[in-house]
Amino acid sequence: MAVEKDRRSFLGFALGGFTAVGGVAALGAMKGSWDPLPSVKAAGFTTVDLSGAEENVLNVEKWRGKPIFILKKSADMKANDRDIVIGDARYHVSIGLCTHLGCIPAYFPKDQQFVCACHGGMFDASGEVLKAPPPKPLVIPPFKLDGTKLVLGEEGEEYKKMKTAGLV
């Protein structure tokens, strides 16, 4: 009987040990998932190099979970105070959500227009409203220029000037 009792005690300890180790490992894994990833901490900012952009080709980036439209304007497109100017190049940059109810408009390069399929709203290549119901132009996200790089999420001088002028 003493042998049987010792065996049971051993099994109890062994099982308890495995459970404790498993519990600590599980807690470690959970702790890992609670901590934000380094990429998440840095995700407030998105840097996009505009030097490779092609005229009249819409690039869609992602910033804080939102689509960001970046359109390098061609010479035949009307200049606008909302344009981001780098050297001789002009860019339209906006949050790619319709200002009516938030659908994502599509860009039609031939017409140089954004069209929102939800209720037929239209914007020109500068994000200005061509056709209601959108009540206002596409919104310009906070940005900073760093050479040919666009840093989304930071308010640089150019953005502050636009903001003061009520253009964003």
Which listed range, 37-45, 77-85, 96-104, 158-166, lies at the site for ligand FES (CB under 6 A)?
96-104
Q: Render the burial of 32-67: b for 16+ CB within 10 Å, e for the rest.
A: eeeeeeeeeeeeeebebebeebeeeebbebebeeee
Which listed range, 55-63, 66-74, 94-102, 135-143, lies at the site for ligand FES (CB under 6 A)?
94-102
Among 134, 140, 143, 162, binds ligand FES (CB under 6 A): 134
State in angstroms the smallest separation of the CB of 116 from ligand FES: 3
Residue among 84 and 98 whose Cβ is closer to ligand FES: 98
Residue 106 CB partners (closer than 8 Å, separation 6+): 114, 115, 116, 117
Q: Is 100 in the site for ligand FES (CB under 6 A)?
A: yes
Q: Is 103 in the site for ligand FES (CB under 6 A)?
A: yes
Q: Is 133 in the site for ligand FES (CB under 6 A)?
A: yes
Does residue 63 sit in helix, strand or coil?
Answer: strand
CA distance 31 to 26: 9
* Element containing residue 74 per DSSP (H, E): none
Q: Is 118 in the site for ligand FES (CB under 6 A)?
A: yes
Q: Which amino acid appears at position 131 of this protein?
A: K
Return residues touching ligand FES (CB under 6 A): 98, 100-101, 103, 116, 118-119, 121, 133-134
